[in-house]
């Protein structure tokens, strides 16, 4: 029983850290939250994250339905493992590159024509990196966690969602109080650490799924 609880705890924080590695990098949704929070206050980030997670929930359901039919295939596992592992190396490298070069700024220029939840949905749907991430890294992580236990996959997804909610809520709360949301040096350090983590995961998964034999 204790081992099962610890395993679920591991998958939750695993999902949280992996999710955080993507959430911290400035993009369309963060720009929207920055703009929206200055007009609507601290709830903006939370509501935008809810909209973001609604879109991701649809993607996750599609993935899980598809995985149920093909997860036992060695060819499928090896293909997803190799592609996902390579993408982990790429995303990890991009995180490290962004931290080193200091590419962390975001312009407060997105006008909040949308409600906060709708904005979270719109700026997720029209962000091309979201489906790319879920078709590669997300697919690999879900496949690996679901291979252990269904609850493991569920807790991994919950951890991922919580990273989005925590970060965007933090941003909107900070901005509503008239403060910049995080010290740039600290943000660089966290992103660099996430990048190293993703790169290491890429190596682990590439090694693991390259060694699968039929």
- Check pLDDT > 70 for residue 44: yes
Query: Which of 82-86, 122-126, 154-158 has maximum average pLDDT?
Result: 154-158
**25 neighbors 130 (Cβ within 8 angstroms):** no
Q: How far apart are CA 112 and CA 175, in angstroms?
A: 15
- By percentage, how much of the chain surpasses pLDDT 70? 85
Average pLDDT over residues 78-92: 83
**Tokens standing for residue 24:** 């911290």
Please state, in angstroms and as integers, the Cα–Cα distance from residue 159 to each residue in 59, 82, 139, 155, following that order. Answer: 16, 24, 15, 6
Q: How far apart are CA 161 and CA 197, in angstroms?
A: 19
pLDDT in tens, 144-203: 888 777 888 889 999 999 999 999 998 888 877 766 555 667 777 777 887 888 888 888
Least confident of 86-90, 132-136, 181-185, 195-199: 181-185
**pLDDT score at 54:** 95
What is the rounded average pLDDT for all residues in the chain?
80
Band (213; pLDDT cuts 50, 70, 90): very low
pLDDT in tens, 2-33: 677 888 888 899 899 888 877 877 777 888 88
**171 neighbors 33 (Cβ within 8 angstroms):** yes
Looking at residue 103, the DSSP 8-state letter turns out to be -
What's the whole-model pTM score?
0.79
Least confident of 72-86, 97-111, 115-129, 161-175: 97-111
């Amino acid at each position: 029983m204790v081992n099962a609880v610890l395993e679920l705890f591991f998958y939750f924080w695993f999902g949280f850290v992996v999710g955080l590695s993507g959430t911290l990098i400035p993009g369309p949704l963060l720009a929207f939250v920055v703009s929206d929070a200055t007009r609507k206050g601290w709830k903006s980030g939370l509501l935008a994250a809810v909209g973001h997670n609604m879109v991701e929930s649809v993607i996750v359901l599609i993935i899980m339905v598809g995985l149920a039919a093909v997860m036992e295939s060695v060819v499928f596992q090896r293909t997803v493992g190799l592609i996902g592992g390579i993408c982990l190396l790429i995303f990890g490298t991009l995180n490290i590159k962004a931290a080193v070069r200091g590419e962390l700024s975001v312009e407060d220029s997105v006008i909040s024509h949308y409600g906060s939840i709708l904005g979270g949905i719109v700026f997720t749907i029209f962000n091309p990196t979201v489906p790319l991430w879920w078709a590669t890294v997300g697919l690999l992580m879900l496949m690996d966690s679901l291979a252990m236990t269904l609850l493991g996959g569920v807790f991994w997804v919950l951890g991922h969602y919580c990273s989005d909610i925590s970060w965007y809520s933090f941003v909107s709360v900070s901005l509503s109080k008239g403060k910049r949301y995080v010290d740039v040096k600290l943000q660089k350090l966290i992103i660099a650490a996430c990048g190293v983590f993703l790169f290491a995961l890429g190596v682990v998964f590439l090694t693991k799924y390259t060694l699968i034999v039929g």
